[in-house]
Structure 1
Amino acid sequence: MNDVQLVEDELLREDKDGAVYLTLNRPDKFNTLSESLLASLQRELDNIASDPAVRCVVIAATGKGFCAGHDLRQMRAHPDHGYYQSLFRSCSGVMQGLVNLPVPVIARVQGMATAAGCQLVASCDLAIAARSATFGVSGINVGLFCSTPAVALSRNINAKRAFDMLVTADFIDADTALDWGLLSGVADDADLDATVAAKVAKILSKSPAAIRFGKAMFHRQRQMSLAEAYELAGEVMADNMMNADAQEGIDAFLEKRKPTWEQPGH
């Protein structure tokens, strides 16, 4: 069942069989992250985080480009240090909100993703791009080092490659972004929607409970020492084993049948 909503003029939401599609809708401005768009994204992420029926999120965009970063015209209209602190805090909150969502988030990328737009791609759990897409952190061209995008970028690709992009503003193509670890998949332009839909369908076919256990553990353990990570992972696996889905899944495997997962929110 599809339920398409206009959250704000700048953001669209579609609910489809347990997946939520959030679409940036400023095509004439290459979907730059205005104050209002960031606020709308934050509200939707907060709503999704508390909704047990949501099982996957896709971040998409209208028009020729995915996202050109912050709205520079809006930023220059408010030459105030406190304003800039608040703006970047809001953007960082959205990026962390994507990581902290209990379900997988997929970026569907077409055209250009630059500066905070590249940060948005890097903040998603998975990212699938059209082969013609390009990626960069080009703030240095206007005298602004992309400091907040650097946080997410350097957690996806190695430090020397990330720093090179940050100080040169050189763009990379989709195949390079895949090779470097910024993307999880690349599709021919005509096949992008089908490729994203196939990935969503595969996630929706898995145990909702297991995926929620797994995403929370995956991101937490990356910040831990090896011993702490194994301690956490062991506790999460024990909790997961006590869940009905794990018991059903193992029984189904042993009995050579398809498992029936519990459906949250029903």
Structure 2
Amino acid sequence: MGVSTASPVAGVHVVTADYPPVNALPVQGWHDLADAVRAAGRDPAVRCVVLAAEGRGFNAGVDIKELQRDPGHSTLLGANRGCADAFAAVYECEVPVVAAVQGHCLGGGIGLVGNADAVIACDDAVFGLPELDRGALGAATHLARLVPQHLMRTLYYTSRTVTAQELHRHGSVWRVVPRAGLAAAALELAAEIARKDGDLIRLAKAAINGIDPVDVRRAYRFEQGFTFEAALSGTAARVRDTFGKGEGP
């Protein structure tokens, strides 16, 4: 359990998260993931990183139960910082990052995938932000990188999900494959990228980030301010306490 790394193909480094049962990451897990992605990007032998996960789903966001065990705000602050750290590590990784997504990709998972350079998804993958049902806000910055503006708003306000096939039609998912072929498809794309000159691919990543119209780090931290405001007002706790009880928000 935790974050593991491997190099199955020359020039490609795979960073895998494994937090059973649903890959809802604890505070330390977000920082561990960030550290692993940054370390891979700094390695001069690496020209592409694959971000993957074990289990039935790619990522279920923050560990809500960890938040509920803390009567204060320290865990919420830790989760805010951890998510910001992990999302930034993916976006700022010195080489391209390919996200390999199976099952659910929710909450913080959208932050990771939205900041990746390319996405390969299983035909059972679903993407969404259930934040309003969990007493939180955030990652609209990253969902807006996957779908058009009005669809992003509708998904955000309703907590609905979209399928990998729908994202493929929008152009944000490169390929949709059966689950059994996910790892191979992600490695195939990563290996194609890794065949480029290592110095040039790093310059390309920096150049593309430099012309991005949205400062994703700043935009996400702005969103997080409202998450903390909801916590201080008691709104977040009121909504979060219904989590797992079969009730509405």
Scaled by the length of structure 2, the TM-score of the pair is 0.80
CA apart distance, 1:204 = 1.7
CA apart distance, 1:39 = 2.0
Q: 1:201 to 1:48 in 2, by over 3 A?
A: closer
Q: 1:196 to 1:46 in 2, by over 3 A?
A: closer
Give 5+ residue unaligned stretches, structure 1: 1-8, 225-266
Residue 120 of structure 1 corresponds to: 112
Counterpart code for 2:120 = I
* SS of match in other structure, 2:51: strand
Asked if residue 191 in structure 1 is aligned to residue 191 in structure 2, the reply is no
Counterpart code for 1:138 = P
* SS of match in other structure, 1:140: helix
CA apart distance, 1:82 = 4.5
Q: Please, what is the CA RMSD of the aligned residues?
A: 1.7
- How many pairs align? 213
Q: 1:80 to 1:151 in 2, by over 3 A?
A: farther
CA distance in 2, matches of 1:42, 1:128: 20
Asked if residue 212 in structure 1 is aligned to residue 202 in structure 2, the reply is yes
Mapping of 1:1-266 within 5 angstroms?
A: 9-16=1-8, 17-28=10-21, 30-144=22-136, 146-147=137-138, 149-223=139-213
Residues 50 and 187 of structure 2 are in contact (CA less than 8 Å); yes or no, is this contact kept in structure 1?
Answer: no
Runs ≥4 in structure 1, deviation > 3 angstroms?
A: none
Residues 18 and 204 of structure 1 are in contact (CA less than 8 Å); yes or no, is this contact kept in structure 2?
Answer: yes
CA distance in 2, matches of 1:181, 1:140: 26
Residues 126 and 161 of structure 2 are in contact (CA less than 8 Å); yes or no, is this contact kept in structure 1?
Answer: yes
Residues 41 and 93 of structure 2 are in contact (CA less than 8 Å); yes or no, is this contact kept in structure 1?
Answer: yes
CA deviation digits over 1:4-23, x for unaligned, max 9? xxxxx311111232211111
CA distance in 2, matches of 1:80, 1:181: 42
CA distance in 1, matches of 2:72, 2:115: 27
- Larger of the two Rg values belongs to structure: 1
Counterpart code for 1:40 = D
Counterpart code for 2:31 = A
Residues 110 and 130 of structure 1 are in contact (CA less than 8 Å); yes or no, is this contact kept in structure 2?
Answer: yes
Residue 232 of structure 1 corresponds to: none
* SS of match in other structure, 1:97: helix
CA distance in 1, matches of 2:47, 2:157: 38
Counterpart code for 1:19 = V
Give 5+ residue unaligned stretches, structure 2: 215-249
Residues 13 and 46 of structure 2 are in contact (CA less than 8 Å); yes or no, is this contact kept in structure 1?
Answer: yes
Residues 153 and 182 of structure 1 are in contact (CA less than 8 Å); yes or no, is this contact kept in structure 2?
Answer: no
Residue 234 of structure 1 corresponds to: none
* SS of match in other structure, 2:83: helix
* SS of match in other structure, 1:27: coil
CA distance in 1, matches of 2:153, 2:171: 15
Counterpart code for 1:25 = D
CA deviation digits over 1:101-142, x for unaligned, max 9? 110101111111111112211111111001111111112123
CA apart distance, 1:79 = 3.5
CA apart distance, 1:189 = 2.6
CA distance in 1, matches of 2:98, 2:66: 28
Name the % identity: 28
Residues 69 and 116 of structure 1 are in contact (CA less than 8 Å); yes or no, is this contact kept in structure 2?
Answer: yes
